[in-house]
Amino acid sequence: MKRKSLDEAAALVRDRAGGSIDCAVILGSGMGSTFAGRIDAKPIAYKKIAGMPQPSVPGHAGEVTVGELHGRMIAVFSGRFHLYEGYDAREVIYPIAVAAHAGARTVLLTNAAGGLNRSFSPGDLMMIDDHINLTGANPLAGPLMHGTHTRFVDMVGCYSPQLRELARHIASEYSILMHSGVYAAVGGPSYETQAEAALLRTLGADAVGMSTVLETIAARALGCEVAAFSLITNVLNGNPTTHDEVLSVSHRGAEQIAKLIEGIVANLAIAPAVGT
């Protein structure tokens, strides 16, 4: 991650926002159209952003929309990067670094995940209360990341209690069924065997995916408050899983995630500031 490229990328986002941004949103697989029509702004293609990698997975458009939503200036990244694409941990979290350097202090993450909790069904929404990093990678390893002061970031409570409480309130208000649980991050790209799913359940995981956790680590290191949500696209019960299936369920469930994220953004003013 080059300092010059990061500064240029953050400057572009600030320029489009007319100043600092308040919040960044990362959309998961198949959720790229979630905010269409909610923000009146033209997207910026990733290829125009200095230092930004290019997503290679179907369902990740590779663009960021910067604009106003309910009085908050936000940047919505449609398309993320994964270790299994050949990117390293610093490249995976580049959108988070750009957003933080453009002023964001709230990060909202979404993903498509496999359900491990046997009470979940495809299409269910799970708020992440905690995570297990099984990727074997960490964006804080190596030289000190620009904008951070230590490699040793405390991850207890890494998903903001205040934002989680706000999300529960919004979900109740909009009659959105939302579970909560533990997300396990693995390297992928192959889906889990039955034995691996059983092991993850034993570890206490309710859902499993190939993203989000490295972004959360970076966001916390950069001083951002984080909330994250998994759309359960398949339940690991011994039946085969395909990426097309994941995208199909993501498309169908994207609207409830959009309502939830929009409600959180609209009420960010009532969420306590970082460190309170």
What is the arithmetic mean of pLDDT over 182-209? 96
Cβ atoms within 10 Å, residue 44? 18
Cβ atoms within 10 Å, residue 123? 16
What is the arithmetic mean of pLDDT over 28-45? 81
Give the domain CATH number at 167.
3.40.50.1580
pLDDT the model gives residue 137? 98
Query: Does a structural domain hold residue 276?
Result: no
Query: Does a structural domain hold residue 88?
Result: yes
Between the alpha carbon of residue 180 and those of residues 40, 113, 174, 205, the distances in Å are: 32, 13, 17, 11
- For residue 250, pLDDT beyond 70: no
- For residue 274, pLDDT beyond 50: no
d(CA 8, CA 10): 6
Whether 62 contacts 78, CB under 8 Å: yes
pLDDT in tens, 71-100: 999 999 998 999 999 999 999 999 999 999
pLDDT the model gives residue 276? 34
Residues paired with 138 in a beta bridge: none
Query: Does a structural domain hold residue 244?
Result: yes
Query: Does a structural domain hold residue 275?
Result: no
d(CA 120, CA 128): 14
Higher-pLDDT residue of 37 and 180 is: 180
Query: Does a structural domain hold residue 171?
Result: yes
Count: domains in the chain? 1
Higher-pLDDT residue of 234 and 92 is: 92
Range of the domain at 11: 3-270
Higher-pLDDT residue of 38 and 34 is: 38
Q: Which residues participate in catalysis according to the annotation?
A: 29, 60, 82, 84-85, 112, 210-211, 234, 243
Query: Does a structural domain hold residue 186?
Result: yes
